[in-house]
Structure 1
Amino acid sequence: MRLAIMGAGSLGIITGAYIKKGGLDIDFIDVNVENVKALNEKGATVTGTVDFNVPANALTPDEMEGIYDVVFYVVKQTYNEVALKQLLPHLGPDSAVVTLQNGVPEPAIAEIVGAERVVGCPVGWGATWLGPGVSELTSSPDKMTFDLGEYTGGVTERLEKIKEILELMCPTIIEENLMGIRWTKVLVNSTFSGMSAALGCTFGDVLDSKEALDCVKHIANECINVGRAAGIKMEPMQGYDLGTMLGFKTKEEMDSKDPIYNAMWGPHRKLKASMLQDLEKGLKTEIDAINGIVCDFGKKHGIPTPVNSQVVEIVKGIENGKYKPEFNNLELFQLPEVK
């Protein structure tokens, strides 16, 4: 079985390194020439909550040859149009494109590579790209998961094979309700990743600020209300049924959620959102695919999403130079009154 990671950034380096460490060959494909050179010369290095290095075979997209059976796809959604068309000639009829991207990326990928090739894989851990060939794992190794599901539904033999590969890194759960687990991951990303990007801080910084955590609570509540209106049954993630546990209608209910947030996100305190990493590099973020998708679904189903909308406005303001990624941006938020 020929394997590849397409998009050898923070998540891609770590996923590929674990697969290689587990004894399987895998190609690291990336557009960053310096990253490809470092991976070939020095191997893939993982630091942070673990520390190891493995040899790596890396190449740029124009150097791809032959057909891949499974491609773990970790390219930013802003580059889908280019990257997927580069990948398409290297997919066979039975090839699987396993997307580890944020948001709900499967429909856009299916349009280019075909729905039958698409497998969704929400990621339950975080990482920071430190430089060419080096990525920092920022989640506790015992608090990491993958969820896996066919875009077209059902449990297939290839899901079982992909599960075996991913479990070289961490526990992997096959999901029949892919949209349900995707929407749960949208909640996970829109809350702490959204606030990390807007405030230029780590997840721990958000947890330690009552004001920032109140923003998170509203973001989550909006996500839950939108999902319910859209008929999405949110699935548990890492043992937490967030769709049930984090919703609120009163101030008392809202204030009672702190222990859940600390238990769920505490192991990921060191994590800095990939969107913030993009902002620090002067790149556009995936905010439209994260908080933006909550707003889009909200408009479609008549559910207000004021705090998600504020996150989108602030992050886009940082992209455009209107704001800086700093914690003082917390003063820009206006939260709905809850009694």
Structure 2
Amino acid sequence: MRTAIYGAGSLGTVMGAYLTREGVPVDLINRNHAHVDALNRSGAHITGTVDITVPVNALLPEDMTGKYDIIFLMTKQLNNHETVAFLKNYLAEDGVIVTMQNGIPEDSIAEIIGPEHTIGVTVEWGATMTTPGSSRLTSDPESLSFHMGSMPGIPDNKLEQVKAVLEKMCPVVIENNLPGARWSKLLINATFSGLGTVMGGTFGDVAKDPEARNLAASCMKEVIDVGRAAGITFAPVQGKDLVSLFYWSNPFKKMLAKLIMPIAMKKHAAIEPSMLQDLKKHKPCEIDAINGVVCEKGSLEGIPTPLNDRIVKIIHEIQEGKRKPSRENLKELEMCPNL
């Protein structure tokens, strides 16, 4: 069985190291020449909450050959149409692309390769690229997990095959409710990645800052209101019912949500938002595939999303060089109605 991680950056380098260490032959594919050279020369060095170095096999996209049974897709969604069309040429007849991207990417990928070749996975941990060949795991090693679901037409044995590979790294939950799992991850990313990027901080910075925490509670409510209007039943994340924990309809319940937040985020407090990582490198970020999805769906369902609208606006302005990530940006968000 041939396996690849396409877009082996911060998360993919960690995953590739874990899988390789456990005996899974996997190609780590990335466009960054320096990163690929360092991986092949010195191995994948994973720091942070662990410290391991694992010899790996890394490739540039132009060096790919043959067909793969499983391609784990870990690039940003920004160029999905071109990327997936390219990967289709390297997919075995019964192969699958397992999208591990943020947002809700499965439908657009299935339009290109077919639902029978599309599996979705939410990644319940974080990492940050440090130097070429090195990535810092920012989640507690005991709190790593994947949630996986498939599109129609995926045989059970293929789903189990992918599950068996991922379980070499950490526990895998099979989701019969893939949209619910996606929206639960979107709830976390829109809130903690969105606000973390706005203020230039980690998930933990959002959870411990009183003003940011108040905004986070309101952001979560917007996402849940939009998801429910769209017919979504939010799936538990690592055994936690996020709606029960964080949804509020009165000031007392909102206060409880804010009190719970630092505890709930403790094991993932060091995660630096991937959008913030991109902006620091002067690269486009995925704001339109994260908070932007909430705004788009809210508009379709007639649910106002003033806070997510402003988060999108601020992050676009950061990307355009009109402002910087800063706690000062929270003041503009605090002017939103119904906070």
Tell me which stretches of 4 or more aligned residues in structure 1 moved more than 6 Å: none
**Structure-2 change in CA distance of 1:76 and 1:141 (3 Å):** same
CA contact (8 A) 1:193 1:203 kept: yes
Deviates more, 1:262-271 or 1:58-67: 262-271
How many residues matched? 338
Contact 1:149 1:155 in 2 (8 A): no
Which residue does the alignment assign to 1:62? 62
CA contact (8 A) 2:208 2:262 kept: no
Structure 2 counterpart of 1:123:
123
The 5-angstrom pairing of residues 16-165 of structure 1 reads 16-152=16-152, 156-165=156-165
**Cα deviations by residue, 1:197-248 (Å, 9 ceiling, x for unpaired):** 1111111211121110111111100011011100111110011111232111
CA distance in 2, matches of 1:337, 1:221: 11
Percent identical pairs in the alignment equals 45
The separation in 1 between residues aligned to 2:185 and 2:250, in whole angstroms, is 24
Which amino acid counterpart does residue 46 of structure 2 have in structure 1?
A: V
Other-structure match for 1:239: 239
Q: Secondary structure at the match of 1:297?
A: helix
Structure 1 position 335, deviation (Å): 3.4
Report the residue type matching 2:220 in the other structure: A
Aligned equivalents of 2:3, 2:146: Cα separation in 1: 17
Corresponding residue for residue 329 of structure 1: 329
The letter of the residue matching 2:35 is N
Q: Distance in 2 between matches of 1:259 and 1:240?
A: 16
Alignment of 1:270-309 (within 5 A): 270-309=270-309
Contact 1:215–1:335 (Cα < 8 Å) also in 2: no
C-alpha deviation, 1:190, in angstroms: 0.4
Q: What is the CA distance between 1:336 and its match in structure 2?
A: 2.6
Secondary structure class of the residue paired with 2:311: helix
Does residue 207 of the first structure (1) align with residue 207 of the second (2)? yes
> Could you state the TM-score of these two structures normalised by the residue count of structure 2?
0.97
2: distance between equivalents of 1:138 and 1:103? 20
Which residue of structure 2 aligns with residue 222 of structure 1? 222
The aligned residue for residue 169 of structure 2 is 169
Shift of 1:93: 2.1
The CA deviation at 1:260 is 2.8
Q: The residue matched to 1:256 in structure 2 has which SS? A: helix
Alpha-carbon distance in 2 for matches of 1:265, 1:8: 26
Following superposition, the deviation at residue 259 of structure 1 comes to 3.7
CA contact (8 A) 2:47 2:136 kept: yes
Deviation sequence 1:136-159 (CA, Å, 0-9, x none) = 000001111100110227771111
Q: TM-score, normalised by structure 1?
A: 0.97
What secondary structure is seen at the aligned counterpart in 1 of 2:46?
strand
- Name the residue aligned to 1:314: 314
Tell me by how many angstroms 1:168 deviates. 1.3
RMSD: 1.3
Separation of aligned partners in 1, 2:239 and 2:260: 11
User: Contact conserved, 2:204 with 2:262, CA < 8 A, in 1?
Assistant: no
Question: Equivalent residue for 1:192?
Answer: 192
Letter in 2 for 1:330: L
Amino acid at match of 1:144: L
Shift of 1:288: 0.6
Measured in 2, the distance between the counterparts of 1:89 and 1:241 equals 40
1:8 counterpart SS class: coil
Measured in 2, the distance between the counterparts of 1:321 and 1:330 equals 18
Distance (whole Å) between structure 2 residues aligned to residue 179 and residue 27 of structure 1: 29
SS state of the match for residue 278, structure 1? helix
Residues 29 and 61 in structure 2, CA contact (< 8 A), matched pair in contact too: yes
2:215 and 2:153 map into 1 onto residues whose CA distance is 35
- Letter of the structure 2 residue corresponding to residue 206 of structure 1: V
Report the Cα offset of residue 264 of structure 1: 2.1
- Cα distance in structure 1, aligned partners of 2:118 and 2:206: 34
Does structure 1 retain, via aligned residues, the 8 Å contact 2:115–2:153? no
Which AA in structure 1 matches 2:251?
Answer: K
Moved more, 127-136 or 77-86: 77-86
The 3-state SS of whatever aligns with 2:123 is: coil
